[in-house]
A and B are shown apart, each in its own frame.
Chain A
Amino acid sequence: MVETREAGLAAANRRMVRRLLLVTAAMFGFGFALVPLYDVLCQVTGLNGKTSGRVAVVEPMKVDESRTVTVEFVASLNLGAPWEFAPQVTRMQVHPGQFYQTHFWAKNLTNQPMTGQAIPSISPGLAASHFQKIECFCFNHQRFQAGEGRQMPVTFRIDPELPPDVRTVTLSYTFFQN
């Protein structure tokens, strides 16, 4: 009688441990699942200033001449990175719907060939989904010979559906070494 009760208890404990370990493993997996979930959420909602890393689909849009938006360009480097990196102009007045092109200057300051990659970010974050790029140096790795410097183009347009309270959009690039 006592024996069977104890055997039953041991089995119940084993079952419980198995279940709880399963929960533990599932939650460990959930931590990693949060990574793609986070990216999907940011892409769907355009939060976090993440623009898509791809060429925007070009559909003709009506140019809204009546509205002017200021686009600011920011270039940054992490401390000590051996590059020169700067926008050609720091701000532009643009009409939503129209394409514009500007350049960023980058130079490899070392005496070896290096590859860099620019990561874009848009502020305010909600403007990110209204900022379309059809050509951008940020789409690809950029290879520089020793001491080489060059202008790199970005062609963009602001979607006329940009919320009316947004008057300034900042496009910021951080240049990372690969």
Chain B
Amino acid sequence: MSTASHTTDHATDHDHDHGPARGLSRWLLTTNHKDIGTLYLLFSLLMFFIGGAMALVIRAELFQPGLQIVDPYFFNQMTTLHALVMIFGAVMPAFVGLANWLLPMMVGAPDMALPRMNNWSFWIMPFAFTLLLSTLFMPGGGPAGGWTLYPPLVLQTGSAFPFVILAIHMMGASSIMGAINIIATILNLRAPGMTLMKMPLFVWTWLITAFLLIAVMPVLAGTVTMLLTDKFFGTSFFSAAGGGDPVMFQHIFWFFGHPEVYIMILPAFGVISQIIPTFARKPLFGYASMVYATASIAFLSFIVWAHHMFTVGMPLAGELFFMYATMLIAVPTGVKVFNWVSTMWRGAMTFETPMLFAIAFVILFTIGGFSGLMLAIAPADFQYQDTYFVVAHFHYVLVPGAVFSIMAAAYYWLPKWTGHMYNEKLGKLHFWLSVIGVNVLFFPQHFLGLAGMPRRIPDYALQFTEFNMVSTVGAFLFGFSQLFFLYNVIQTIRGGAKATDQVWEGAEGLEWTLSSPPPYHTFTTAPEIK
């Protein structure tokens, strides 16, 4: 990228050189938060297209009833890997990339607190995903039991099994190291005067997300380790024959799994809370309540896990507890949506691409939240469990939710990172195609689910044909319109109209006081916060 411009400020001279190293070693050995942020973002973009290609295989097969394109076993590998790649390869690294680029600039720190570990936590990722994707070519194929890895089914995976587990361990280690780095940066490296309650909301949401990560990623690591020992070392954590219990896997997995959901959405809340005030030209409404709402959501995420498994046969008291606890999450989430809308209320709004994505996020994420409330109703969930309604729900919160916020963030900060304005016309085209595509893709899946179409099947009954066809058309529209995004990003990196330092008229925060692009080393002397 174009961060090659050297700083001429030699006031605080150190032993290491000021500009980036040349060639490949710059990227392999870098400890610079901006370089590592770029690496994370590009890696995540690559995974987004790989995971997206898998989704298109799934949707192409589902265009018509019957088996046309792939055999059912490969179909199951696609659904499993699509989820693993998108969750651990696209969404999470994208947010870590944003954190790397932005947190030091937002809190006035020269770099992340632990730059060497930062390098390590990124470079684990390509190895983890090479391992994961290579399982497709192994005897017995890749994992096909669903990303939730439920035993005993997942234990039937062929040679791929230990590779999948190791890949998950590596992703977990990377996430934990990233989280430790983020917490250390936020708590130790804030510029003098930057109190916790003056931090930008993106910093706050990431601080809380990082705590969630170090709380639950080790639990996932433990769970998959148990799977591994069950398969190869004769333990029986989840095998009824040896006194274990497969239902216990679901409990432990979802103890990780539900906070994981918020790991993927809290940073999105942070991004949206940065963007909306900029384009509404008003400060964020209810800053403190936003912080408390984020913390409450994070706390509640630990006590709602069993709503993913209402049908395993829980006592009534359990069903009721998890149902009400789940519904309680709607309160802090409602506070957030209310605050975003209130921020826009009577603002002098303009609708550049980041703002369009942010507004679409607020509306479409809320739809996903409402279908989540429907799923939270335990008696109704018995009907919805494992249907396309669930698929529609979590794709509404993850695609026009998390992914749209990442798109919004990319458009919003790209001029800052590269020093060039992106092509606004192309950005808007990308937005409108995406927002239409995503709704055509996922909205009919609500109806399919309510009508009883099960998820994770390559074939379906004839009456589901029309909605599946519509959904597939939407999928291809959405998928291919992402090429506009790719083109736009590449063009912006290569050149374009010069961006000003502030970039957006209403933008506030330390990162906008730096030049565009910022010098390779920023805030080597801490800024003064008023």
Contacts and interface: CB of A to CB of B under 8 A. Distances in A.
A141 to B, nearest CB: 11
Interface in A1-56: 2, 9, 12-13, 16-17, 20-21, 23-25, 27-32, 34-35, 38-39, 42, 45, 47-50, 53
A25 B218 contact: yes
B261 interface: no
B222 A16 contact: no
B84 interface: no
A28 B218 contact: yes
Interface in B292-332: 313-315, 318
A42 B245 CA distance: 11
Contacts of B314: 47
B237 A35 contact: yes
Contacts of A137: none
Interface in A93-133: 117, 119, 123, 125-126
Contacts of A20: 179-180, 183-184, 214
Nearest to B251: A38
A16 B245 contact: no
Contacts of B247: 48
B222 A28 contact: yes
Given A23-B214, A117-B241, A174-B240, A47 B315 contact: yes
B147 to A, nearest CB: 18
B510 interface: no
Sort chain A's interface into a size bin: 35 or more
Interface in B158-197: 176, 179-180, 183-184, 187-189
Interface in B196-248: 214-223, 226, 237, 240-241, 243, 245, 247-248
Nearest to A47: B315
Nearest to A16: B184
Q: Which of B217, B226, B245 has most chain A Cβ within 10 Å?
A: B245
A38 B315 CA distance: 15
A139 interface: no
B219 to A, nearest CB: 4
B131 interface: no
Given A23-B214, A24-B176, A28-B221, A17 B184 contact: yes
Contacts, number: 95
Contacts of B365: none
B114 interface: yes
B113 A31 contact: no
Contact of A119 (B187, B240, B248, B255): B240
B341 interface: no
B487 to A, nearest CB: 40
Nearest to B317: A45
A21 to B, nearest CB: 7
A176 interface: yes
Nearest to A42: B245
Contacts of A49: 313
A17 B180 contact: yes
A34 B214 CA distance: 17
B189 to A, nearest CB: 8
Contacts of A30: 218-219, 222
A131 B262 CA distance: 42
A53 B245 CA distance: 14
A27 B214 contact: yes
B14 to A, nearest CB: 10
A35 B230 CA distance: 13
Given A12-B188, A24-B218, A117-B241, 20 more contacts: A13-B184, A13-B188, A16-B180, A17-B114, A20-B183, A20-B184, A20-B214, A21-B180, A23-B214, A28-B218, A31-B218, A31-B219, A38-B251, A39-B245, A50-B245, A119-B240, A123-B313, A174-B241, A176-B240, A178-B241
Cβ-closest 3 pairs across A and B: A31-B222, A176-B241, A28-B218
13 contacts: A2-B12, A12-B188, A13-B184, A16-B184, A16-B188, A20-B183, A31-B221, A31-B255, A38-B245, A38-B248, A38-B251, A45-B315, A47-B318
